[in-house]
Amino acid sequence: MRKKGKLKRATIGDWIIVFVMILLILTCILPIMTVVATSLSDPTAVMRRDVTFLPVGFNITAYVDVINDSRFMWSLAWTAIITLIAVVVNLAMTVLCAYPLTYDSLKGRKIITVLIIFTMYFGAGLIPTFILFRTLGLLDNPAVLILPGMISVFFMIIMRNFFIGIPESLKESAEMDGAGPLTCLVKIYLPLSTPVLATIGLFYAVGRWNGFMDALFFLPSASEYHPIQLLLYNILQNITAIDPMDPGDVAQPGMGTVTESAAIVIAMVPILCVYPFVQKYFVSGVTLGAVKG
């Protein structure tokens, strides 16, 4: 009966929905086209309001400027480095936290879980954290980009629920053979958890790649450790600028806008290249969280 319904020809209502979806797609794609077009355009054309969604007076000077700006390229590389470190460290810590909490027999499990979940709903806030980091010597210390974000409670719960879903008989038979918890985790649980590990790892990676506030708050005078998003923020806020190859470009009206656009595009390309491949993992991650959240 359902089958028959599905074979019915598309009605006017279907086409209205298609039309709305096309509008939605356009709102997603056109902003990207604008910034790409601006980055490839002649600055005077930009100032003349000629550039909307396609480049006018094609030129790549802005890209040459950005790529030759050693600070910008270092910041990209540094962001890649800390993203890699964050994924490895965060995953390890999240597993270490999630796995023991799956044991019903573990004394203190309830209270530990409650105390951890409480931190999802109440945090001390920016200022107390800042003062603590000052005391701990984490200010202007690159470790501040990794340590405070090691465990996301939300992902830890998702991982714990995934572990709980793995049949306990596997663990029990291993324990009969004298395997301890660590052996069970490494030999049984982790190999069966690759999808959820991939999902959560990608969440951590995108979070670190896109993050900038920790650096803004806690690395005030260590600009060499600023991730790409903070550098871009400073460029867009006109706190700093890309150095042009040709010093004469500084005076050219519109050049700033074009260079900014090129910087935006370069910072955007990695995430745009990766997201179509990772989004299905992300979707399964959200759904995992929703089922047992």
Which of the residues 54 through 83 are near other proteins (CB under 8 A)?
Answer: none
Burial class (CB in 10 A: 0-12, 13-18, 19+), 282: middle
With respect to other proteins, which residue has the nearer C-beta, 138 or 247?
138
With respect to other proteins, which residue has the nearer C-beta, 88 or 236?
236
Burial class (CB in 10 A: 0-12, 13-18, 19+), 178: exposed
Tell me the CA distances in angstroms from 87 to 29, 142, 151, one per residue in order. Answer: 29, 16, 11
Between residue 24 and residue 53, which ones bind other proteins under the rule CB under 8 A? 24-25, 27-32, 34-35, 38, 46-47, 49-53
Q: How far is the CB of 79 from other proteins (least distance, A)?
A: 11
- Asked if 131 touches other proteins (CB under 8 A), the answer is yes
Query: CA quadruple 210, 213, 218, 221: dihedral positive or negative?
Result: positive
SS3 content of the chain, % helix, strand, coil (to 5): 75, 0, 25
Between residue 219 and residue 238, which ones bind other proteins under the rule CB under 8 A? 229-230, 232-233, 236
Between residue 184 and residue 203, which ones bind other proteins under the rule CB under 8 A? 185
- Asked if 21 touches other proteins (CB under 8 A), the answer is yes
Considering only 68, 173, 194, 287, the residue that binds other proteins (CB under 8 A) is: 287
Choose among 142, 140, 160, 144: nearest CA to 152. Answer: 160
DSSP one-letter code for 185? I
With respect to other proteins, which residue has the nearer C-beta, 235 or 247?
235
Stretch that binds other proteins, among 80-88, 107-115, 160-168, 186-194 (CB under 8 A): 107-115
